[in-house]
Amino acid sequence: MAIKKESFGFMPSGQEVFKYTLTNSQGISASFITLGGIWVSMLVPDRDGKMEDVVLGYDDLDSYRKNPPHFGAPIGRNANRIGGAVITIDGKDYKLAANNGPNNLHSAPDLYHNRIWECSPSETDQGSRLDFYLESPDGDQGYPGNAKITVSYTLTEENSLVLDYHMVCDADTVANFTNHSYFNLAGQGSGPVLDQLVWLGASHYTPADEVSIPTGEIAPVAGTPMDFTEMKAIGRDIGADFEALNFGKGYDHNWVLDHEPGVLSLAAKAKDPASGRVMETWTDLPGIQFYTANFLTDELAGKGGARYGSRHAYCFETQYYPDACHKPQFPSPILKAGEAYQTTTIYKFYTES
Protein backbone atom coordinates (compact mmCIF):
# COMPACT_ATOMS: atom_id res chain seq x y z
CA MET A 1 0.00 0.00 0.00
CA ALA A 2 1.18 3.52 -0.68
CA ILE A 3 0.10 7.13 -0.20
CA LYS A 4 1.36 9.86 -2.53
CA LYS A 5 0.91 13.60 -1.91
CA GLU A 6 1.30 16.24 -4.62
CA SER A 7 0.24 19.81 -5.34
CA PHE A 8 -3.06 20.29 -7.18
CA GLY A 9 -2.91 24.06 -7.50
CA PHE A 10 -3.70 27.18 -5.52
CA MET A 11 -6.92 28.86 -4.41
CA PRO A 12 -7.47 32.58 -5.20
CA SER A 13 -6.44 33.24 -1.58
CA GLY A 14 -3.07 31.63 -2.29
CA GLN A 15 -3.83 28.54 -0.21
CA GLU A 16 -2.38 25.39 -1.75
CA VAL A 17 -4.59 22.41 -2.56
CA PHE A 18 -3.09 18.93 -2.41
CA LYS A 19 -3.98 15.67 -4.09
CA TYR A 20 -3.51 12.39 -2.23
CA THR A 21 -3.40 9.08 -4.11
CA LEU A 22 -3.92 5.73 -2.41
CA THR A 23 -2.59 2.65 -4.27
CA ASN A 24 -2.87 -0.99 -3.24
CA SER A 25 -0.56 -3.89 -4.14
CA GLN A 26 -2.66 -4.73 -7.21
CA GLY A 27 -2.14 -1.29 -8.71
CA ILE A 28 -5.69 -0.08 -8.07
CA SER A 29 -5.68 3.56 -7.00
CA ALA A 30 -8.00 6.26 -5.73
CA SER A 31 -7.22 9.98 -5.53
CA PHE A 32 -8.67 12.82 -3.45
CA ILE A 33 -8.09 16.55 -3.06
CA THR A 34 -8.13 18.75 0.01
CA LEU A 35 -10.67 21.01 -1.68
CA GLY A 36 -13.85 19.48 -0.35
CA GLY A 37 -12.32 16.08 0.32
CA ILE A 38 -13.41 15.33 -3.25
CA TRP A 39 -12.89 11.86 -4.76
CA VAL A 40 -11.25 12.71 -8.10
CA SER A 41 -10.22 9.36 -9.62
CA MET A 42 -10.64 5.59 -9.30
CA LEU A 43 -8.40 3.42 -11.50
CA VAL A 44 -9.58 -0.19 -11.79
CA PRO A 45 -8.85 -2.95 -14.33
CA ASP A 46 -11.14 -4.63 -16.84
CA ARG A 47 -11.21 -8.41 -17.30
CA ASP A 48 -8.01 -8.17 -19.36
CA GLY A 49 -6.21 -6.02 -16.82
CA LYS A 50 -6.57 -2.70 -18.67
CA MET A 51 -6.90 0.18 -16.24
CA GLU A 52 -9.52 2.90 -16.63
CA ASP A 53 -10.64 5.77 -14.43
CA VAL A 54 -14.31 4.99 -13.66
CA VAL A 55 -15.35 8.25 -11.95
CA LEU A 56 -16.14 11.45 -13.83
CA GLY A 57 -14.30 14.62 -12.94
CA TYR A 58 -11.83 17.28 -13.97
CA ASP A 59 -8.09 17.68 -14.50
CA ASP A 60 -7.77 21.11 -12.88
CA LEU A 61 -8.55 22.89 -9.64
CA ASP A 62 -10.49 25.75 -11.23
CA SER A 63 -13.07 23.31 -12.64
CA TYR A 64 -13.46 21.62 -9.24
CA ARG A 65 -14.01 25.06 -7.68
CA LYS A 66 -17.05 25.38 -9.98
CA ASN A 67 -18.07 21.68 -10.19
CA PRO A 68 -21.79 22.17 -10.99
CA PRO A 69 -22.59 18.41 -10.96
CA HIS A 70 -20.84 17.90 -7.55
CA PHE A 71 -18.43 15.30 -9.06
CA GLY A 72 -16.94 13.16 -6.28
CA ALA A 73 -18.07 15.48 -3.52
CA PRO A 74 -19.00 14.66 0.06
CA ILE A 75 -22.41 16.26 0.58
CA GLY A 76 -23.60 17.52 3.97
CA ARG A 77 -24.96 18.47 6.42
CA ASN A 78 -27.93 17.24 4.43
CA ALA A 79 -27.76 15.37 1.14
CA ASN A 80 -30.64 15.54 -1.32
CA ARG A 81 -33.74 17.72 -0.97
CA ILE A 82 -35.57 19.46 1.86
CA GLY A 83 -39.06 20.61 0.85
CA GLY A 84 -39.81 24.32 1.04
CA ALA A 85 -36.16 24.99 2.01
CA VAL A 86 -37.20 24.89 5.69
CA ILE A 87 -36.11 22.33 8.25
CA THR A 88 -37.98 21.95 11.54
CA ILE A 89 -35.95 20.73 14.52
CA ASP A 90 -37.40 20.53 18.03
CA GLY A 91 -40.39 22.57 16.87
CA LYS A 92 -38.29 25.43 15.50
CA ASP A 93 -38.04 26.30 11.80
CA TYR A 94 -34.67 26.99 10.22
CA LYS A 95 -34.73 28.67 6.83
CA LEU A 96 -32.39 27.30 4.17
CA ALA A 97 -31.54 28.61 0.72
CA ALA A 98 -34.05 27.70 -1.99
CA ASN A 99 -31.59 26.60 -4.67
CA ASN A 100 -33.69 23.90 -6.39
CA GLY A 101 -37.01 25.51 -7.23
CA PRO A 102 -38.77 25.99 -3.88
CA ASN A 103 -36.54 23.42 -2.18
CA ASN A 104 -33.04 23.11 -0.81
CA LEU A 105 -30.77 20.60 -2.57
CA HIS A 106 -27.52 19.26 -1.07
CA SER A 107 -27.34 22.08 1.53
CA ALA A 108 -26.26 24.53 -1.20
CA PRO A 109 -25.12 27.15 -1.87
CA ASP A 110 -22.62 27.07 1.01
CA LEU A 111 -21.26 23.71 -0.08
CA TYR A 112 -18.74 21.80 1.99
CA HIS A 113 -16.88 20.82 -1.16
CA ASN A 114 -16.04 24.46 -1.83
CA ARG A 115 -13.96 24.53 1.35
CA ILE A 116 -10.47 23.34 2.19
CA TRP A 117 -10.47 20.34 4.54
CA GLU A 118 -7.61 19.22 6.76
CA CYS A 119 -6.25 15.81 5.75
CA SER A 120 -4.42 13.21 7.81
CA PRO A 121 -3.01 10.16 5.95
CA SER A 122 -2.26 6.87 7.70
CA GLU A 123 -1.63 3.19 7.13
CA THR A 124 -4.09 0.91 8.91
CA ASP A 125 -4.75 -2.83 9.14
CA GLN A 126 -7.60 -2.30 6.69
CA GLY A 127 -5.51 -0.36 4.16
CA SER A 128 -4.22 3.14 3.30
CA ARG A 129 -6.51 5.77 4.79
CA LEU A 130 -7.21 9.48 4.51
CA ASP A 131 -9.14 11.32 7.23
CA PHE A 132 -10.59 14.66 6.11
CA TYR A 133 -11.69 17.09 8.84
CA LEU A 134 -14.01 20.10 8.78
CA GLU A 135 -15.60 22.28 11.46
CA SER A 136 -19.01 23.72 10.62
CA PRO A 137 -20.12 26.58 12.90
CA ASP A 138 -23.58 27.23 14.31
CA GLY A 139 -25.79 28.69 11.59
CA ASP A 140 -23.65 27.30 8.77
CA GLN A 141 -25.88 26.62 5.73
CA GLY A 142 -28.78 27.60 8.00
CA TYR A 143 -28.45 24.62 10.36
CA PRO A 144 -28.13 24.87 14.15
CA GLY A 145 -25.12 23.79 16.17
CA ASN A 146 -21.33 23.69 15.96
CA ALA A 147 -20.43 20.46 14.16
CA LYS A 148 -17.17 18.56 13.90
CA ILE A 149 -17.08 16.39 10.79
CA THR A 150 -14.78 13.63 9.58
CA VAL A 151 -15.00 11.94 6.19
CA SER A 152 -12.56 9.05 5.78
CA TYR A 153 -11.51 7.00 2.76
CA THR A 154 -9.72 3.65 3.03
CA LEU A 155 -8.47 1.65 0.04
CA THR A 156 -8.29 -2.04 0.91
CA GLU A 157 -6.38 -4.98 -0.56
CA GLU A 158 -9.80 -6.39 -1.54
CA ASN A 159 -10.19 -3.47 -3.99
CA SER A 160 -12.82 -1.73 -1.91
CA LEU A 161 -13.00 1.96 -1.12
CA VAL A 162 -14.48 2.35 2.35
CA LEU A 163 -16.13 5.69 3.17
CA ASP A 164 -16.68 6.42 6.86
CA TYR A 165 -18.64 9.48 7.98
CA HIS A 166 -18.56 10.86 11.53
CA MET A 167 -20.12 13.98 13.01
CA VAL A 168 -20.85 15.36 16.47
CA CYS A 169 -22.68 18.61 17.21
CA ASP A 170 -23.48 20.66 20.30
CA ALA A 171 -27.13 21.15 19.26
CA ASP A 172 -29.81 18.99 17.69
CA THR A 173 -29.26 19.22 13.93
CA VAL A 174 -29.45 17.23 10.70
CA ALA A 175 -26.76 14.70 9.74
CA ASN A 176 -27.26 13.06 6.37
CA PHE A 177 -24.06 12.75 4.34
CA THR A 178 -23.41 11.08 1.00
CA ASN A 179 -20.82 11.01 -1.77
CA HIS A 180 -21.82 12.35 -5.18
CA SER A 181 -19.44 10.40 -7.44
CA TYR A 182 -20.61 9.69 -10.98
CA PHE A 183 -19.61 6.21 -12.16
CA ASN A 184 -19.08 4.83 -15.64
CA LEU A 185 -17.58 1.35 -15.48
CA ALA A 186 -16.57 1.54 -19.14
CA GLY A 187 -14.36 4.48 -18.15
CA GLN A 188 -15.02 8.18 -17.75
CA GLY A 189 -15.52 9.85 -21.10
CA SER A 190 -16.74 6.66 -22.79
CA GLY A 191 -20.27 7.94 -23.41
CA PRO A 192 -23.74 6.71 -22.41
CA VAL A 193 -24.22 4.02 -19.76
CA LEU A 194 -27.58 2.69 -20.96
CA ASP A 195 -26.14 -0.77 -21.74
CA GLN A 196 -24.65 -1.14 -18.25
CA LEU A 197 -26.55 -3.34 -15.81
CA VAL A 198 -27.86 -2.41 -12.36
CA TRP A 199 -29.35 -4.31 -9.44
CA LEU A 200 -30.83 -2.59 -6.36
CA GLY A 201 -31.58 -4.36 -3.10
CA ALA A 202 -34.89 -2.59 -2.77
CA SER A 203 -38.44 -3.81 -3.26
CA HIS A 204 -39.87 -0.32 -2.58
CA TYR A 205 -39.14 3.29 -3.47
CA THR A 206 -40.40 6.71 -2.41
CA PRO A 207 -42.56 8.33 -5.15
CA ALA A 208 -42.00 12.07 -5.47
CA ASP A 209 -43.83 15.06 -6.90
CA GLU A 210 -42.84 17.14 -9.92
CA VAL A 211 -40.14 18.96 -7.89
CA SER A 212 -38.71 15.67 -6.54
CA ILE A 213 -40.07 15.89 -2.99
CA PRO A 214 -41.33 12.50 -1.75
CA THR A 215 -45.07 12.28 -1.24
CA GLY A 216 -44.57 10.21 1.90
CA GLU A 217 -45.71 7.00 0.26
CA ILE A 218 -43.49 3.92 0.23
CA ALA A 219 -44.50 2.13 -2.96
CA PRO A 220 -43.61 -1.34 -4.31
CA VAL A 221 -41.41 -1.47 -7.39
CA ALA A 222 -42.96 -4.72 -8.63
CA GLY A 223 -44.56 -4.34 -12.03
CA THR A 224 -43.05 -0.89 -12.63
CA PRO A 225 -39.95 0.46 -14.43
CA MET A 226 -38.52 1.14 -10.94
CA ASP A 227 -37.93 -2.59 -10.39
CA PHE A 228 -34.22 -3.43 -10.25
CA THR A 229 -34.59 -6.46 -7.99
CA GLU A 230 -33.20 -8.46 -10.91
CA MET A 231 -30.23 -7.04 -12.78
CA LYS A 232 -31.24 -5.18 -15.94
CA ALA A 233 -29.84 -2.67 -18.41
CA ILE A 234 -30.26 0.94 -17.29
CA GLY A 235 -31.74 1.78 -20.68
CA ARG A 236 -34.35 -0.96 -20.74
CA ASP A 237 -37.14 0.97 -19.04
CA ILE A 238 -35.70 4.48 -18.66
CA GLY A 239 -37.91 5.84 -21.44
CA ALA A 240 -41.14 4.30 -20.18
CA ASP A 241 -44.22 6.51 -19.85
CA PHE A 242 -44.26 6.36 -16.05
CA GLU A 243 -44.87 9.33 -13.77
CA ALA A 244 -41.67 9.01 -11.75
CA LEU A 245 -39.54 8.79 -14.90
CA ASN A 246 -41.41 11.65 -16.55
CA PHE A 247 -40.89 13.88 -13.53
CA GLY A 248 -37.20 12.94 -13.13
CA LYS A 249 -36.34 12.81 -16.87
CA GLY A 250 -35.07 9.32 -16.08
CA TYR A 251 -33.99 7.68 -12.84
CA ASP A 252 -33.43 10.16 -10.00
CA HIS A 253 -35.19 8.60 -7.04
CA ASN A 254 -34.73 7.18 -3.58
CA TRP A 255 -35.04 3.42 -3.17
CA VAL A 256 -35.97 1.96 0.21
CA LEU A 257 -33.34 -0.64 0.94
CA ASP A 258 -34.57 -4.03 2.12
CA HIS A 259 -31.81 -4.53 4.67
CA GLU A 260 -32.15 -3.62 8.32
CA PRO A 261 -31.00 0.00 8.81
CA GLY A 262 -27.76 0.16 10.70
CA VAL A 263 -26.54 -3.18 9.33
CA LEU A 264 -23.86 -2.94 6.64
CA SER A 265 -25.33 -4.78 3.64
CA LEU A 266 -25.19 -4.99 -0.14
CA ALA A 267 -27.40 -2.22 -1.52
CA ALA A 268 -26.57 -2.00 -5.23
CA LYS A 269 -24.54 -3.66 -7.96
CA ALA A 270 -23.53 -2.36 -11.39
CA LYS A 271 -21.80 -4.13 -14.27
CA ASP A 272 -20.38 -3.09 -17.61
CA PRO A 273 -20.75 -6.22 -19.78
CA ALA A 274 -18.22 -5.00 -22.35
CA SER A 275 -15.31 -4.61 -19.90
CA GLY A 276 -16.44 -7.02 -17.20
CA ARG A 277 -16.03 -4.37 -14.51
CA VAL A 278 -18.40 -4.73 -11.56
CA MET A 279 -19.03 -2.37 -8.65
CA GLU A 280 -20.92 -3.26 -5.50
CA THR A 281 -22.25 -0.61 -3.11
CA TRP A 282 -22.62 -1.55 0.55
CA THR A 283 -24.16 0.67 3.22
CA ASP A 284 -25.77 0.69 6.66
CA LEU A 285 -28.09 3.56 5.67
CA PRO A 286 -31.80 3.04 4.87
CA GLY A 287 -31.91 4.52 1.35
CA ILE A 288 -30.05 4.97 -1.91
CA GLN A 289 -30.56 7.59 -4.63
CA PHE A 290 -29.98 6.06 -8.05
CA TYR A 291 -29.40 8.96 -10.46
CA THR A 292 -28.67 8.46 -14.15
CA ALA A 293 -27.10 11.88 -14.74
CA ASN A 294 -30.18 13.07 -16.62
CA PHE A 295 -29.23 16.73 -16.25
CA LEU A 296 -25.47 16.38 -16.84
CA THR A 297 -24.13 18.76 -19.49
CA ASP A 298 -20.75 19.50 -21.07
CA GLU A 299 -20.63 22.91 -19.43
CA LEU A 300 -17.00 22.23 -18.42
CA ALA A 301 -14.57 19.88 -20.13
CA GLY A 302 -13.93 16.71 -18.15
CA LYS A 303 -10.75 14.70 -17.71
CA GLY A 304 -8.65 14.50 -20.83
CA GLY A 305 -10.99 16.96 -22.54
CA ALA A 306 -13.96 14.56 -22.31
CA ARG A 307 -17.36 16.09 -23.01
CA TYR A 308 -19.85 14.60 -20.59
CA GLY A 309 -23.55 14.47 -21.36
CA SER A 310 -26.88 13.21 -20.11
CA ARG A 311 -26.80 9.57 -18.99
CA HIS A 312 -23.02 9.26 -19.37
CA ALA A 313 -22.78 8.04 -15.75
CA TYR A 314 -24.82 7.15 -12.67
CA CYS A 315 -24.70 7.85 -8.96
CA PHE A 316 -25.36 5.54 -6.03
CA GLU A 317 -25.92 8.05 -3.22
CA THR A 318 -26.47 6.26 0.08
CA GLN A 319 -28.65 8.33 2.39
CA TYR A 320 -31.63 8.97 4.60
CA TYR A 321 -34.69 9.48 2.40
CA PRO A 322 -35.16 12.95 0.85
CA ASP A 323 -37.23 15.37 2.95
CA ALA A 324 -37.19 12.88 5.82
CA CYS A 325 -37.23 15.75 8.29
CA HIS A 326 -40.83 16.45 7.18
CA LYS A 327 -41.96 12.83 7.00
CA PRO A 328 -42.29 11.25 10.45
CA GLN A 329 -42.92 7.85 8.83
CA PHE A 330 -39.40 7.96 7.32
CA PRO A 331 -36.22 7.14 9.29
CA SER A 332 -35.10 10.36 10.95
CA PRO A 333 -31.88 12.17 9.93
CA ILE A 334 -31.90 14.32 13.07
CA LEU A 335 -28.77 14.00 15.20
CA LYS A 336 -29.19 14.76 18.89
CA ALA A 337 -26.74 17.08 20.61
CA GLY A 338 -23.63 15.27 21.83
CA GLU A 339 -24.43 12.04 20.03
CA ALA A 340 -22.29 10.67 17.20
CA TYR A 341 -23.41 10.22 13.61
CA GLN A 342 -21.42 7.28 12.29
CA THR A 343 -22.10 5.54 8.99
CA THR A 344 -20.19 3.52 6.41
CA THR A 345 -20.55 3.08 2.65
CA ILE A 346 -18.29 0.80 0.61
CA TYR A 347 -17.68 0.71 -3.15
CA LYS A 348 -16.12 -2.63 -4.10
CA PHE A 349 -14.63 -3.28 -7.55
CA TYR A 350 -13.93 -6.56 -9.37
CA THR A 351 -14.40 -8.21 -12.76
CA GLU A 352 -16.62 -10.93 -14.16
CA SER A 353 -16.46 -12.80 -17.45
CA distance 254 to 289: 4
Beta bridge partners of residue 5, listed in sequence order? 20
315 CB-side CA count, 13 A: 31
Q: Report yes or no: 254 and 289 within 8 Å, Cβ to Cβ.
A: yes
Say if residue 291 is exposed, middle or buried (CB neighbours under 10 Å; 0-12, 13-18, 19+). Answer: buried
Residue 242's identity, in one-letter code, is F
Say if residue 214 is exposed, middle or buried (CB neighbours under 10 Å; 0-12, 13-18, 19+). Answer: buried
Preceding peptide of 311 cis, ω within 30°: no
Catalytic residue among 180, 253, 280, 312: 180
Question: Is 259 one of the catalytic residues?
Answer: no
Preceding peptide of 286 cis, ω within 30°: no
64-101: burial string, b at 16+ Cβ within 10 Å, e else:
bbebebbbbbbbbbbbbbbbbbbbebeeeebebeeebe
Catalytic residue among 52, 253, 312, 317: 317
247 CB-side CA count, 13 A: 13
Question: Is 253 one of the catalytic residues?
Answer: no
Cite the active site residues.
180, 317
